Structure 1
Amino acid sequence: MKFREFTVNSHSTREFVDSGVEERDMNEIKTYLDEVNNTAGKEKGFSLILMENGADVYQNLEGYGGYGGVMLKGPHYIGLRLDKVDHEIEVLGAFYLQSVVRKIYDLGLGSCWISLKEITPDQAEKILGGQVGTIQHLLVFGKPTKKENKPEKHTTIINCDSKYEQDPYGIAVITTNDETRLSVVDTIFLQTWGNVAPYEEMEKRGVLDLLYYVRNSPSFQNGQPCRLILKDGYAELCIINPEQEENYTDAGIMLFTLEGLAKELSFPSNWHFINDDSGNVEYRRVAHFDL
């Protein structure tokens, strides 16, 4: 399936059937998680923990997990365990957990990000199952519930006429047009921070379509904290309000979206994390991305 189709049609699922995922699909998911954990995860300091006993997880986190303590109930969960709270690990972990969202989508299943910012240490320890580290996010997944005679709630991205906006954490932001999304010129700078990149320059470089698509990358509460600075042959991904940890998670999701679109549109798509120790309180560079 084309990546652009995934970005357009993918949406957060908040209601699941109780029967869970079929064994064949679950085995595919397990195989993919093992691949991630044994390669990138082992090297970079994170792991993806499969929790098939969804009822136990929900009971443990009800009233604490999710947004404002609203926990999503599902048959299965995947936890993003980090060795430590570290911006690079947060970015990479989010990148690969979003890749799991794509894998689950390709299997015809639904999923939704869940924030664990409000859980207690005892709850976190129970989720980690004795593993060392910290956990800030879960992914709930399973077969979506489809109700008869009611339009299926979903969020779409890219489509300017969409009624809904994408939010991977399960918070639907309803709109009647694209006005809630920042425009391309609001999110893309040329050479230096704050220097707005003209449409003509983006067209000249052949990146306008890519940048239009990627600006719709899902983010917590539709906050859109990511910005791109176009340089010569590459771009720098930055976040505003660098003191907010969720923005580094959103940067990882943005990088997955950017890489997938770049590959499909025949751009180089190589990237690496930037350890920006400038102390800038307005924005922070997060990644170098070849274009």
Structure 2
Amino acid sequence: MKFYNFLKKRQSVREFKPQEISNGKMKKLKDEFKNLESNLTNIEFILFENGEEIYNKLEGLGGYSGVMIKAPHYIGLKIEKNDDDTIINSSYYMEKLITELAKLNLGSCWINLGVVPKEIISKLIKEKGTMNFMIAFGIPRDEILSKVTNSEGLNDENLKYLNTYRYSNELKVEDGPSTSKSSRMAIEDIVFKEKLGQNINMDELDQRGLEKLFYYTRYAPSNKNTQPWRFIVKNDKISLAILNPDHKENLTDAGIVMYYFEKMAYDLGFNGKWKLKDSDYIEYDNNKYKIVAEFNI
């Protein structure tokens, strides 16, 4: 199945049935932990099978503006370092894990732990490190997962749900441009040639097979729909520049958009992988940007 078609069936689930998932699905999930962690350093997934215990500890603290999501199980994302590369990698692999949950017909929802006191986080992970996010997951309460609603910053979008850690439910476009007014930036606003601010010709993107890739990528979820990512096409390389990289939320968005971009690129015949990059700040349009990754095409 094409990845963008798979995304059309995805949604962020806020209400779960109380029963635990089957032993078979739990085993598959634990096996996936091991598979993902074999590629990672400084990042670990922690499975909390006793959802009620976690909910009681985080109620009023974690979630959406202090509204904790109640679920039978949770997955914590523990990181040993809070540096830029680790934050980007952790959100990339968390999205990958969410995809695996969806394959098991399990719903999930990001939970922000940014305002949870450190002492509570320390008790949860019981070892060195920190945890900025976790996922609530389980069997969705609603049988139909294709419900579409508008949300903050996305009114009148012709979209379907994506999982996000956001305060709003980000949605995914179907198979082509919407006839309704879109709150998303146009391709011309997020894709540039050789440097930020230098426009790229749409015919050039089309001839190189990149127009469809960027069309779908611009619908990737971002914190409060800020869309902090910009792409620079130069020869056979695409650079990812992030707005205000000192904001950790924007680095999280970088990892998420990298995951969606890479999966959709593969479907379109591009076999490249993102490589993280350390670079100097770039001033553009009275804002500060930084190139954090590069993709060879």
CA distance in 2, matches of 1:72, 1:170: 13
Query: 1:133 aligned to 2:132?
Result: no
Deviation at 1:153? 5.1
Residue 59 of structure 1 aligns with which residue? 56
Post-superposition shift, 1:172? 3.0
1:147 shift after superposition = 7.0
Would you say the 8 A contact 2:281–2:289 is kept in 1? no
Report the Cα offset of residue 163 of structure 1. 5.6
TM-aligned CA distance change 1:29 to 1:285, over 3 Å = same
Shift in Å at residue 246 of structure 1?
0.7
Three-state SS of the structure 1 residue aligned to 2:8 is helix
**Residue 140 (structure 2) pairs with residue 144 (structure 1):** yes
* Counterpart residue number, 1:260: 263
1:230 has 2:233 as partner: yes
Query: The residue matched to 1:282 in structure 2 has which SS?
Result: strand
1:196 and 1:8 map into 2 onto residues whose CA distance is 30
Q: CA RMSD in A?
A: 2.4
Q: Helix, strand or coil: the match of 1:9? A: coil
CA offsets, 1:138-176, max 9 Å, x none?
A: 01111111179x9835689xxx95266646025335899
> Counterpart of 1:271 in structure 2: which amino acid?
W
Question: Following the alignment from structure 1 to structure 2, what is the Cα–Cα distance between the partners of residues 24 and 6?
Answer: 23
Matches within 5 A, 1:34-53: 34-37=34-37, 39-41=38-40, 44-53=41-50
Aligned to 1:240: 243
Provide structure 2 residue ranges, at least 5 long, that are not aligned to the other structure: 172-178
Aligned-partner SS, 2:121: helix
- In 2: Cα distance, 1:51 partner to 1:279 partner: 41
Amino acid at match of 1:287: A
- Encode CA deviations 1:39-93: one digit per residue, 9 max, x unaligned: 122xx31111111111111111111111211111111111111111110011111
Equivalent residue of 2:29, what SS? helix
Q: What is the CA–CA distance in structure 2 between the aligned matches of 1:86 and 1:193, rounded to whole Å?
A: 25
Normalised by the size of structure 1, how large is the TM-score? 0.90
- Report the Cα distance in structure 1 between the residues aligned to 2:53 and 2:89, rounded to whole angstroms: 28
Instruction: Name the count of aligned residue pairs.
Output: 283
Percentage of pairs with the same residue: 32
2 CA distance for matches of 1:155 and 1:257? 22
Q: Are residues 1:289 and 2:285 paired?
A: no
Structure-2 separation of matches of 1:274 and 1:133: 24
CA contact (8 A) 1:112 1:170 kept: no
CA deviation vs aligned residue, 1:189-220 (integer Å, no higher than 9, x gap): 11101112221121122100111111111122
**For 1:179, what is the secondary structure of its paired residue?**
coil
